[in-house]
Structure 1
Amino acid sequence: MNAKCNLLLVDDDKDLLKLLTMRLEAAGYTVTAVSSGEEALARIGIERPQLVITDMRMPGMDGSALFDAIRVSHPALPVMMLTAHGSIPDAVAATNRGIFGYLTKPYDVKTLIEQIERALNLSANRADGGKVDEWRREIVTQNAVMEDLLAQAMLVAANDVSVMLAGESGSGKEIVARAIHRASPRHGEAFIAVNCGAIPDNLLESELFGYVRGAFTGANKDYKGLVREANGGTLFLDEIGDMPLSLQIKLLRVLEEREVRPVGSTSTYPVDIRVISATHRNLETEMAEGRFRSDLFYRLNVVRLALPSLAERRDDIPLLANHFLKSVATRYRKEVNAFAPDAMDLLVRASWPGNVRQLLNVVEQAVALSTAPIIPSTLVQKAIRELEDIVPFDEARRRFEAAYLTQLLKMTGGNVAQAAKLAQRNRTDFYKLLQRHALEPGLFK
């Protein structure tokens, strides 16, 4: 059971390092041993361990400095210290700053293993009969940054705090949100995903909060709404940065009062939900420019997890490509089982502006067009070129809006009232659109 638990040992005493490695490997752990703090940081960047055990006093980067560096880059990675009696005060101080624990030399191996087990269990980083891995079954990775993010996700899943997932479009934010839900005490209840950017502004309120019969034209029956559908479970608000300001205050009220009032109703209904939100926008910039409420931001952004782009985790590309290949080939019932070496090289070197979602699309197109068991580089190159000519939906919408508004202002000579009337939008909303695209009406007069 311990074989999947990789420990990183750090000590400048090579004899002690060798002895400790032998004893821990005999206990069933996988051990990586290094002799300096600098080397330890480099190894963590290559392959993330489940636990770091370091000596306190070392030349160059000592144990305390190593711990500080790990806390910055890998905050969920537990660290234990081995220390001589003379450095106990330093070890105690490190414990107060968040180190898992320390043992004094000479140490008892049985006590050390007990401490290791406690650290692994409390950090939720060990594989235990498949239970820990089940929550992240949809996530394919061997990347150290992703592994660290998932370790943090596992920790926050146990608590009911709101989580903000940041990352580029297509980087896998919804998959991580679903993983957090599965790892949480709410895993037996509903996971409801809402794309705030895909639902028209005038429909989003009724979709979220529900409505009663007769509330508006077409409301022929009562509708609970997605917030109440998520009661007891998790509500995932994707692209929260696209939510209109008028609705942000209503969402904040629901989160603060834990009750929702359907459109057209005088009654309220209690709701118990955990909120995970996601955005590819810079919400700090959106707040500064008045497009996102700071009180809602701080309510949603209790814990922030930033997903790396696919270009930042290129070591995952072969793993993901082969995973998608197997899945797509099975779905299409095609005998396609591998990429040619030069085809895989193209995948690894591509820029991937659409991230993991784009990689899946490339694999899907290549499998669909393949006439042989091995996918050649020509099919991969064709799929990448065609898909990179297609911009993401948000970018396409931004370009359309900018061109549309520019055309209206040209037609009306910069007359905002007339342009807003043609667009069938009120002047306030129209001005907001102009501000979003940095269009000055006076330049068209």
Structure 2
Amino acid sequence: MTLLACVDVGSTWTKAALVELDTGRLVETRQAPTTPADVVAGVLAATEGWGAPVRACSSAGGGLRLAVVGYEELISAEAGHRAALSAGARVVHVAAGRLDAAALRQLAAAAPDVVLLVGGTDGGDATVLRHNAATLAQAAPLQGPGASLRVPGGSGVLPRSVPVVVAGNVDVRAEVCAVLTAAGTPVTAADNVLPDIGQLAPESARAAIRDVFLTHVIGGERLSADPRLRRWVRAVTPDAVLDGVAVLAELWAGTDAPGVLVLDVGGATTDVYCVPAVDAEQASLHRAAVGVPARRRTVEGDLGVHASADALREAAADEGLSTPGGDPLELGEAAAVVALRRHLRAEAAYGPGGASARGAGLVVLSGGVFRHAAPAATAAVVQRVAADRGGAGSVLAGARVVVDDRYVLAAAGLLAGDAPAAAAGLLTGLLAD
């Protein structure tokens, strides 16, 4: 019997599933508090005594804090939000126009984990992009490795180690990256998030942000200095879960109501995953050709019941909802409504291809607020969300609702690449519950 420990390192809890690879049988599940000082300790606690190799995904640390530096505020903010979705990043600051000393101090005060540097369409004006890259690069380093940058007229405020993802005018991409690299700034190049007027293309920047997460957060010392963590972690948790959802959608496809939506309410983020049924109209349009991905997600870095609770309350107020108190289920309900409303707004951007998201026949609830609640309490939350007139209720109408109370979606995603039969076996058990 070959066993593998599939681990999801969350911001609050570390969840582990011991899986029999030959069959996909779930041998045992455990969880342990995530240990912020060194997350490896939490992984070892959750897998103690199993003696199996570890494969992990992680969203610990509350996800990435992303700052966007661009040309025009509204466009830059939208591009940043689109690019942040799949990495679980939260946009904490948007700077527009030419950076000066005051703008640099505001940028540093937001304490970003990564800066997304954008600006200009391909072949268009590159003046602002060049200026902002040079300004970041020319802020003289204080003495000592890893020291802060000295901003003219102010104190050292921006850590030299903050990586930059360059996703602006491709005509000057190499030049901009070279300027930053020469200054000692970690740089990742991506395609332009705004290649043409009115056209947003965030996928390449999303992938770059995910790489930054794995390299600079997982691979750095923010979560642990233990080299085992980098060997264990194969993906950010939203990516792993989406892979698991894709497997689940294949299993569910033969039912009378195909289409799967997963709502994962966590301590720091609330994530919505969607693999809608492909109707005849969309099949005839050749989904890939019209730019509508067959599976998609929204990851809301400001909607969480623990680390992001204050931001969640603000978001609920912005949506016209009652401000939730401290009860976890009450917070979870607010997170579910806001996240589903946002998800449907994002789906609307796909045009007709997004409408089918409302037709999901299976809705899976995940996260500790649902896992630890009594079934009657969870059912009551589902009923209240289904009654929401702001859009969220349409997702649950007529769907079968199940709870991923053993956290098998992330585990299935970690297995989907090289052990697809085991991944399917895990999720067959979820559907049998």
| TM class by smaller structure | under 0.3
Q: TM-score, normalization: structure 1? A: 0.27
Q: Tell me which structure has the larger Cα radius of gyration.
A: 1
Q: TM-score, normalization: structure 2? A: 0.28
Instruction: Looking at secondary structure, tell me which structure has more strand per residue.
Output: 2
Instruction: Looking at secondary structure, tell me which structure has more helix per residue.
Output: 1
Where relative contact order (Cα < 8 A, 6+ residues apart) is larger, the structure is 2
